[in-house]
Amino acid sequence: MNNLTKIVSKMFNDDQVKFLTNRSNKVAKWCNDTFIKSYRLKFACGTSGYIELLKQKYPLPFLRTLTRKLKNLKFRSGLINKIFYFLHIKVLQFENETDKDCILVIKLYIIILVYDNSTKEMLSHVNLSNHNGEANQVLVFLIAGLSSRQKQIIA
């Protein structure tokens, strides 16, 4: 391994190094560490900033790839504790104190029973300790910015 490869390997994951050295600019499969890094970058600099990184030829998955990966995530009921770490990163990027002003929005959504081909199961069954059956509503808690167009589901 030459000196340049060692330096690049400290900054990028193996799949990112392979992307940089591959002429076709395609990766068979991005690793989870690269996805996590990509979500952090997208969250910190926004969609337009992430697109600019892609234009600058940073070895990152395309936005469509990130979206497809998110579709396969499983979400459980309750507070999404990990999201507060990403919110902290986002808040550190705010230039104005007023960007930190936000409200808690509680919204009730009506849902229907849907079959998920990827998991081969129905998606509105409830598995709570005091209730088992089909849900027809979901209560969503989200934080919304008052002076900026920021929204984030937290529960």
| Contact assessment for residue 49 and residue 90, using Cβ atoms and an 8 Å cutoff | no
Q: What is the three-class DSSP state of 85?
A: helix
76 falls within a domain: no
Q: Show which of 29, 46, 70 is a domain's final residue.
A: 70
H-state helical runs in 56-105: 63-71, 83-92
Same domain, 38 and 14: yes
Same domain, 61 and 9: yes
Same domain, 45 and 92: no
- pLDDT at 143 (0 to 100): 82
Q: Percentage of the chain with pLDDT > 90?
A: 7
- pLDDT at 100 (0 to 100): 83
Same domain, 63 and 101: no
43 falls within a domain: yes
108 falls within a domain: yes
Same domain, 57 and 108: no
Same domain, 120 and 149: yes
List C-alpha distances in Å: 107 to 101, 102, 142, 153: 19, 16, 8, 10
90 falls within a domain: yes
pLDDT at 103 over 70: yes
Same domain, 85 and 145: yes
Same domain, 60 and 90: no
Which residues, other chains included, contact 82 with Cβ-Cβ below 8 Å and sequence gap of 6+?
A: none
Select, from the ranges 26-40, 43-57, 90-104, the one with the highest average predicted confidence (pLDDT).
Answer: 43-57
Considering only CA atoms, which of 154, 43, 145 is closest in space to residue 107? 154
| CB neighbours of residue 145 within 10 Å | 16
75 falls within a domain: no
Same domain, 43 and 97: no
In tens, the pLDDT along 133-146 reads 777 777 888 888 88
Same domain, 66 and 122: no
Mean pLDDT score of the chain: 79
What does the block give as tokens for 67? Answer: 């979206």
- Calculate mean pLDDT across residues 50-75: 84
Q: Bigger pLDDT: 111 or 97?
A: 97
> Where is 51: in which H helix or E strand?
helix 32-55
- pLDDT at 68 (0 to 100): 82
Distance CA 29, CA 44 (A): 24
- pLDDT at 130 (0 to 100): 67
Q: Domain residues for 86? A: 81-153
Total domains in the fold of the chain: 2
- pLDDT at 25 (0 to 100): 65
- Calculate mean pLDDT across residues 91-114: 82
